Each structure stands twice: as structure tokens, then as C-alpha cells.
Structure 1
Amino acid sequence: MPFEPVKQEKLSHGVVRQIEGLILRGILRPGERLPSERELSERMDVSRPSLREALADLQDRGLLTSKAGAGVYVAEVLGSAFSPALVTLFSTHDKAVFDYISFRRDMEGLAAERAAAKASDTDLKVVNAIFEKMEAAHKKRNPADEAHLDANFHLAIIEASHNVIMLHMMRSMYELLREGVFYNRTVMFKQRMTRDTLLEQHRAINTALQARDPVGARAAIEAHLDFVQTALSDQYKADANEVFAQKRLEHEAES
């Protein structure tokens, strides 16, 4: 018979599974410092030897990393999604920018649709809390804060869709976005009209999610990213035209 005696699980295995789950769900994020050994053992109600065994296993598998005198951190695993050579290629070709926006449109549209249908009430409260921070930042006219909250808003929607593969893939892509590899997000906040429009687009996304309207949420995401693509295209053209305008001015001054 294919049965074996049931053995009690080692405490360290339970610790490993819990930390793995937190990383998988995106609750523990790359670069985040874990609590001290004493605090962790108390919170998880395990002995320090069992905790150390679990942490050592997670470090051996590359999920955690130890920094001398600083503690234990979640490993920076997201950067492995793209090789350095590919990142450089992305940053030097405009086509990558628009392909990136198109990819986001498809993935985030699906995520918003799923979130509207499957998110818990708490998930939607997180999305709404970030949107309220966006409203507050908008009044202060700080492009860096707005860009940071914009990224967090979209990631919160992906988290609320409860698809862990999509979550980690999109987190990786957002790290490149924050680093300015795909485009400089502050370009989107140069004009007051653009800033107001973007806020209203995020309001429409949030409203559809809070109403649990999958079709409306997906449509709002798609409309927002269509706008971003058009705005960036217009800005690229304006920048190119300015280069030639400067050349004409220089030529006129020399005539």
C-alpha cells in the first residue's frame, strides 16, 4: 500500500514555508530587512536554533542574504529578469518604450479585470489608500512623489489580482521603469493639463475597481496607457523638433 507513517514537520520547515509564502505573495520585497532574530523567533513562536536553520536554508537557495552587522534581507532577485546587455539595449531604443507600454496595457488590463472580480475588500482598501495619497501629492506639485505613487498604485492593482507570476514579472519591469530605463516618468508631469488628466484617469481606474466593475476597470487602464503612449510620442516629436529649431536659430544668428 502506498502509505507511510505521518511524521511531525520540523519547525524549521514551517518557518521556511511561511517566509517563502510572504516572498511569493510580494509581502516581503527584495531588499527588505527581516526583523531581528529575537523578534522573529518570538513572532513565529519557534526556538532560535530552528529559526537559524530555516534562514540558512533560505540563504542557501538565494532567497535571503545576510549582511555582516546589518541583518538578514530579502535577496535582490528581480534584476535577474533582464541581462545587463538587454537593459542597455532597452534604454537606447525608443521602440522598447512603446513596446513596454503596449505590454503593460495588456497585462495591467487583465490584472485590473481580475482585481475587480477577485480582490478582497482589504486589497481594494490598499488601492484606494494609495490613490488618496496620489490626490494629496498632486496638490503639492512634486513630480517625483507623484511618479512613485503612480507606480505603487499600478502594482497594488497587480497584487490585488492574486497572480504571483504576474506580480513578480511586473515588479521587475517597474524597477526598470523607476530607474529610467524605459522612460523618464517626470516627462509625463511637465504640463498642468497632463497632470490633471493623469490624476482623473487614475480616479476612473480606482472608481471602477471599488465598484467591482471588471469591464470598466480594464477599459480605464487601457484608456490611461493609450494616453501615456500618445503623450510620450508627442513629447518625443516635440523634443526632436526643438533640436532642429535650435539649429535654425544658430544658423540665422550666423547669417
Structure 2
Amino acid sequence: MPFQTVQQEKLSQGVLRQIEELILRGILRPGERLPSERELSEKMGVSRPSLREALSELQDKGLLVSKVGSGVFVADVLGSAFSPALVSLFATHDSAVFDYISFRRDMEGLAAERAARLASDTDLKVIDAIFKKMEVAQQKRNPAEEAALDADFHLAIIEASHNIVMLHMMRSMYELLREGVFYNRSVMFKQRMTRDHLLDQHRAINDALQARDPAAAKAAVASHLDYVRGALVDQLKANENEDFAKRRYEHEAGR
């Protein structure tokens, strides 16, 4: 017979599975501090010994870390995605920049297409709320804030696609982008015309998602990242031209 004895699950295992699911779904993020033991046990309706048992097991699994005097935090599980040597290699070769953009174009196009079909109404509200913050930030002309919101906007789309493998992979990629490994995004937001174009492109992506139009959402993402690629090519060329101009000036001044 295919039947087995039914065994009641320990409370600590219920706690463990819930926290694992929150990490897996990207709701609890790397570096995020968990509530205090008292608050967490009350929220989850379990005793402190059961909670401690679950937290201890999650630490043994490498999903949580305890810091003396600070609390329990979600481990930096993204940090191991790329070795320091590979990150250094990315940072010193322009070809990696354009491969990165190409990769984003493919992955985010797919994510936008999925989000238009599978996102909940709340997912779409989150994306729209971030876009409205982008509109406000543009008026303040704060390149750093605009760049940060740009990353939040794209990650919200990936979250709304509800593919957990893609979510963690792309979060890892965005951490490298935030650290300036591939290129300095803030530079792009310092130019008025570029900033206007970028906002219009994000508006097109948001409009397509809110309309739940998968093809339009995918096309809007592709158009946006094609523009980013072209802007970076122009930036690299301008930097090269400026280098030669300085050498020419030094040569003329020394004659």
C-alpha cells in the first residue's frame, strides 16, 4: 500500500519553511534585519524555543547570520554569485559591459512579458508607484536618486514576473551594477536630454505593463536597453575623444 504514517510537523519546521519561502521569493532581502525574537515569535504564533530552533537551523544552512548586539540578518546569499576575480575582469573590459546589456535585454524582456501576464494587481501598483517616484526625482535633478530608482523599477518588474530563479540571478547582476562594476549609471542621468529620453522609455514600459500587454512590454524593454547601449557607446567615444583632445592641447602648449 502507498500510505505512510501521518506525522505532525514540528512548529520550528513551520517557522523554517516560512522564512525560507520569504527569502526564496525575494521578500526578505540580503542584509535585511529580522524583527526581534519577541516580536517574531508573536507574529508567527510560536514559542521562543521553537523560533530559536528554526533560526539556528537557518543559520546552519547559511541563510541567516547572527551579529552580536545587532540581531539576526538575512545572509548575503548573492555575494557568492561571482568570484572577486571575475568581478575585477568585468570591471576592466568594455566587452563585458555590452554583453551585460545584451543579457539584460534578453532577460528583462522576458521578465516584462511574464509580468504583463502573471503579475498581480499589487505587483503592478508597486511598479507604478516606483515610476511616479522617478517622475518626481527627475524634477529634483538628482542623478544618484534617479539611478537608484531606475534599478528599483527594473527589479520590481523581475519580481512581478514571479520566476524565483530569474529574481535571484538578476538581483545579483544588479548588485554589481549598483557598485559601478559595469558602468556609472549616474553619468547617464546628468544629461538633460538623456534623462528625458530615459523617463519616456520607463513610462512606455510602465504603460505596457499596466495595460497587461506582453508584446508591448517586451518591446519597450528592448527599445530602452538598445538606447542605453547606444548612449554608452557615445559616452565611451566622447571619453576617447577628450583624451586625444587633451594630448593635442598639451602638445600645442608645449611648442
- TM-score category, normalised to shorter length: over 0.9
Q: State how far apart, in whole Å, the 2-side matches of 1:130 and 1:97 are.
A: 26
TM-score, with normalisation over the residues of structure 2? 0.99
Deviation of residue 86 (structure 1)?
Answer: 0.2
The within-5 A match list for 1:5-84 is 5-84=5-84
- Segments of structure 2 that go 5 or more residues without pairing to the other structure are none
Deviation of residue 89 (structure 1)?
Answer: 0.3
Deviation of residue 2 (structure 1)?
Answer: 2.9
Residue in structure 2 matched with residue 247 of structure 1 by the alignment: 247
Q: Does 1:197 align with 2:197?
A: yes
Q: State how far apart, in whole Å, the 2-side matches of 1:2 and 1:58 are.
A: 32
The within-5 A match list for 1:109-128 is 109-128=109-128
Q: State how far apart, in whole Å, the 2-side matches of 1:105 and 1:2 are.
A: 48
The within-5 A match list for 1:81-230 is 81-230=81-230
Are 2:143 and 2:187, in contact at CA under 8 Å, matched by a contact in 1? Answer: no
Q: State how far apart, in whole Å, the 1-side matches of 2:29 and 2:65 are.
A: 13
Paired residue type of 2:101: I
Deviation string for 1:10-49 (max 9, x for gaps)? 0000000000000000000000000000000000000000
Q: State how far apart, in whole Å, the 2-side matches of 1:192 and 1:75 are.
A: 39
Q: State how far apart, in whole Å, the 1-side matches of 2:163 and 2:210 are.
A: 19
Deviation string for 1:78-136 (max 9, x for gaps)? 01010000000000000000000000000000000000011000000000000000011
Secondary structure, aligned partner of 2:207: helix
Matched residues, number: 255
Paired residue type of 1:238: A
Q: State how far apart, in whole Å, the 1-side matches of 2:229 and 2:65 are.
A: 38
Secondary structure, aligned partner of 1:81: coil
Q: State how far apart, in whole Å, the 2-side matches of 1:191 and 1:36 are.
A: 45
Q: State how far apart, in whole Å, the 1-side matches of 2:86 and 2:58 are.
A: 29
Q: State how far apart, in whole Å, the 1-side matches of 2:171 and 2:42 are.
A: 31
RMSD: 0.5
Query: Which segments of structure 1 move beyond 4 Å, counting only runs of 4 or more?
Result: none
TM-score, with normalisation over the residues of structure 1? 0.99
Secondary structure, aligned partner of 2:5: coil
Paired residue type of 2:35: P
Are 2:137 and 2:145, in contact at CA under 8 Å, matched by a contact in 1? Answer: yes
Q: State how far apart, in whole Å, the 1-side matches of 2:138 and 2:115 are.
A: 25
Q: State how far apart, in whole Å, the 1-side matches of 2:104 and 2:223 are.
A: 12
Paired residue type of 2:31: G
Deviation string for 1:219-240 (max 9, x for gaps)? 0000000000000010000000
Deviation of residue 254 (structure 1)?
Answer: 1.0
